[in-house]
Structure 1
Amino acid sequence: MIDVGNELGLPSYLFLTSGAAFLGLMLYIPTRHDRVSTEFSESDPEFLIPGFINPVPPRVLPSAVFNKDGGYAAYLKLAKRFRDTKGIIVNTLLELESHAISSLCEDQTPPIYTVGPVIDAKGEAQNKLGSPGSHSKNNNIMTWLDDQDPSSVVFLCFGSMGTFGAPQLREIAQALERSGHGFLWSIRLPPTATPQRKAENPEEEMLPDGFIERTRGKGMVFGWAPQAEVLAHKAIGGFVSHCGWNSIMESLWNGVPLVTWPMSAEQQLNAFTMVRELGVAVEMRLDYRRGGDLVMADEIERAVRSVMVSDSDVREKVKEIGEKSQKALVEGGSSFNMVGRLMEDMLVNV
């Protein structure tokens, strides 16, 4: 598309739906390739990437960069074109990733415009995409949350692709029951795991015997979740997440601290950034990948208890970032001003 734009005399801009840390990795890949000329290896030592304060362990990089059969080549090809754009628009805010942004701006990159958080804050688009009958289920969820104490419920949701088999679901169930905290748990089942007979709530059939009865009133289990709407509710005190960037932005916007359980794509790098770089998440796993080893109930329980501590440093930092993210979008805020600058630059480039 950049080539098409050049032929037509139109400037090309890239909108990056991930954060500045991931942008740092993409800009680093061609520089590294000029020196190493091969894909990454999990046995590589930790290395410094522009935009990161801490050395980055290879185990938190996207799986594709280790792939000899086209994955690494695709990333390299894309990354090289980043610098051919007139500007890179990033779904983040300056106050969240200030070190990464300032480091990247020192490099010979195109201008970087932080315009985030770009989110569906009220969940209107998510609700329209919900499954048939989801509206009444959403009402049940929100009514139940209305009856819970502020910051007393942990929310577990792993995105549209975040599925687990029965053994892992049972470990999560044990952890939640033992933690003693209220919970909302969105379970997406892999197609092959759905019970043979049609059940109204097939996810419940994968859980330990008696779990639903023992936790009735204390928690809710359901399929599709109105994530943005749930995270905005005062009852939510923590979020166990796959660390997709949209989920991170929604959680921070609402001042809800995260527990990191990445699955795929750049989610491991997101988790590393949130925990090690920014201190706005509780570390459970940084390098988990879909289909990996079983995460045991003890580990999950510890993370849930940790994220629900009312006066933790993480909670204070997240609350502060939530306030800053909302200020960034109003007139005079950093992202508001950046959109204005982007518009001016576009007009100049045209």
Structure 2
Amino acid sequence: MTKSGLVFIPAPGIGHLVSTVEFAKLLINHDHRLSITVFVIKAPRATNVDAYIHSLTSSPNFPKHLQIIHLPTDESQSAQYLHELTQNSIPLVRQAVSDLVQQSRSDPDSPQLAAFVVDMFCTAMIDIADGLGVPSVVFYTSGAAFLGLMLHLHQLREQGTLDTTSRDFKDSGTELTIPSFANPVPANVLPTAVLEKQWEGFVDEYVKGLRKARGIIVNTFEELEPHAVHSLLEGDTRLYPVGPILSAKDDETSQQGWDTMEWLDDQPESSVLFLCFGSVGYFGEDQVREIAIALENSGVRFLWSLRKPPPEGSRRPTDYSDPAEGLPEGFLHRTASIGRVIGWAPQKQVLAHKAVGGFVSHCGWNSILESVYFGVPIATWPLYAEQQPSAFELVHELKMAVEISVDYRMDHKNGSNLGVISRERIEKGIKEVMERESETRTKVKQMSEMSRKALMEGGSSYSYMDRFIDEVLNNI
């Protein structure tokens, strides 16, 4: 039987690539009528992408009908930003897809192209699919509530009824009614991209791209975001909530990773607070000091992934060569019996460990899904992108997190953080998230069970995956 071919186009960057590949693997295992080709748009000098793909394709469990194709990369090109890289790659994708189509025409046993699945930041590729007469679906790596927020705000802006970029809007105290949120959303938790004039063009193109697609696959599950999912389904959005799609296992080759897991093995169950702020999260010296003092005063066991601000010209933080460098004098000695400060952390493995009982997180969507899946409650500390509304959703909509902040944000342009959260506020959040018998912990544990059932036969995400495959094979 001739298979139906899907072309997947993830955005540049390891985070988007990993979740895309994990979804592709899920689809192939779900229905053997499918064959998938993933086109990798690699940013210059992104060596972690090469390492990941080598590890993936050399595994004996790598699916037979999943193909990964590197698009040519010019290491000298100056494109550093997602939009530039994507635009530069359009001719390369067009040629690569043309080659696939020619192959299928000359070989009747080759997969027949059925659809494109494009990342939420790669909707420019939809025009290629339209030219071939095949449908395109967006793979959305944030949550359903955030998707609904972006669609609704863009609609209001087009109607001329809302200008979120006006000078005082963020601090105006305004609360917005957003269909995908059950509660009014304060202006100060909107994402930076809709608050600053410089991002208007990008946001317009981003939302218009979402609307061009035949449907949107969202990395969430119905039980986690019931209000958001139903509000989108009641509108004109063809939605497929198929999550939680978790990233592949963390890199275990790092000695730091082994040492961390061995330390956790020696800690009591649910006793350790894990602090980790994503691949580009970092703090200045004043904020690091407040976190350290809050941890010491709380007396809670902790594992802290502390990253050094990036060097000039880079957005990526690095590890301290000596962790004591960024900490109050004597902190490591005084907390040696209860805490550990590390650099890079194998986040998924840490959250899965029975010793971990709480998570201070930047509220990136993948981190939220991992915390839910492993039943670890979050204390929210958003930094950038969609994290402020996601933190608000967790605390005020879903009642599944405690708040350190929901409106804190980084200023990547100036390489700084906006404001300092006090040690008292941090300590309060730490103690709340580590409470053994809290309602928050109970809800997260219940949602953990639901997240696993959603992916099993008969579960909500399993059923939406069935629906997506059927509609793709029938040309949507």
Which TM-score band (shorter chain)? over 0.9
Give the conservation status (yes or no) of the 8 Å contact 1:115–1:335.
Answer: yes
- CA drift of 1:29 comes to 2.5
Q: Which residue of 1 aligns with 2:71?
A: none
Q: Which residue of 2 aligns with 1:305?
A: 431
Q: Which residue of 1 aligns with 2:296?
A: 177
Q: Which residue of 2 aligns with 1:339?
A: 465
CA distance in 2, matches of 1:200, 1:46: 41
What SS is found at the alignment partner of 1:156?
strand
1:178-257 paired onto structure 2 within 5 Å: 178-192=297-311, 201-257=321-377
Q: Which residue of 1 aligns with 2:32?
A: none
- CA drift of 1:39 comes to 3.7
CA distance in 1, matches of 2:269, 2:173: 45
Verify: 1:274 aligned to 2:394, yes or no: yes
Q: Aligned AA for 2:377?
A: P
Give the conservation status (yes or no) of the 8 Å contact 2:307–2:320.
Answer: no
CA distance in 1, matches of 2:236, 2:266: 53
Counterpart among 113, 116, 119 of residue 243 in structure 2: 116
Q: Which residue of 2 aligns with 1:84?
A: 212
CA distance in 2, matches of 1:321, 1:200: 36
What SS is found at the alignment partner of 1:145?
helix
- In the alignment, structure 1 segments of 5+ residues that lack a partner are 129-133, 194-198
Verify: 1:65 aligned to 2:194, yes or no: yes
Give the conservation status (yes or no) of the 8 Å contact 1:29–1:79.
Answer: no
Give the conservation status (yes or no) of the 8 Å contact 2:371–2:378.
Answer: yes
Range moving further from structure 2, 222-231 or 21-30:
21-30
Q: Deviations over 1:123-163 (max 9, x none)?
A: 52x316xxxxx622211111111111111000000001111
Q: Aligned AA for 1:254?
A: F
Q: Aligned AA for 2:159?
A: R
- CA drift of 1:176 comes to 0.5
Q: Which residue of 2 aligns with 1:324?
A: 450
Give the conservation status (yes or no) of the 8 Å contact 1:160–1:188.
Answer: no
Q: Which residue of 2 aligns with 1:196?
A: none
Give the conservation status (yes or no) of the 8 Å contact 1:237–1:257.
Answer: yes
Give the conservation status (yes or no) of the 8 Å contact 2:173–2:188.
Answer: no
Counterpart among 372, 378, 384 of residue 258 in structure 1: 378
Q: Aligned AA for 2:389?
A: L
- In the alignment, structure 2 segments of 5+ residues that lack a partner are 1-124, 313-318, 411-416
Give the conservation status (yes or no) of the 8 Å contact 1:39–1:67.
Answer: no
Counterpart among 216, 219, 235 of residue 107 in structure 1: 235
CA distance in 2, matches of 1:47, 1:298: 30
CA distance in 1, matches of 2:251, 2:385: 25
Give the conservation status (yes or no) of the 8 Å contact 1:201–1:222.
Answer: no
What SS is found at the alignment partner of 2:424?
helix
CA distance in 2, matches of 1:268, 1:217: 34
- CA drift of 1:279 comes to 0.5
TM-score, normalising length: structure 2: 0.68
Range moving further from structure 2, 302-311 or 23-32:
23-32
CA distance in 2, matches of 1:259, 1:200: 24
Q: Which residue of 2 aligns with 1:51?
A: 180
CA distance in 2, matches of 1:90, 1:255: 21
Give the conservation status (yes or no) of the 8 Å contact 2:183–2:397.
Answer: yes
Give the conservation status (yes or no) of the 8 Å contact 1:39–1:65.
Answer: no
Give the conservation status (yes or no) of the 8 Å contact 2:324–2:332.
Answer: yes
- CA drift of 1:237 comes to 0.5
Range moving further from structure 2, 171-180 or 327-336:
327-336
1:13-28 paired onto structure 2 within 5 Å: 13-28=137-152
- CA drift of 1:204 comes to 2.1
What SS is found at the alignment partner of 2:359?
strand
% identical aligned pairs: 50
Q: Aligned AA for 1:270?
A: S
Q: Deviations over 1:164-193 (max 9, x none)?
A: 111111111111111111000001111349
Aligned residues: 335
- CA drift of 1:270 comes to 0.5
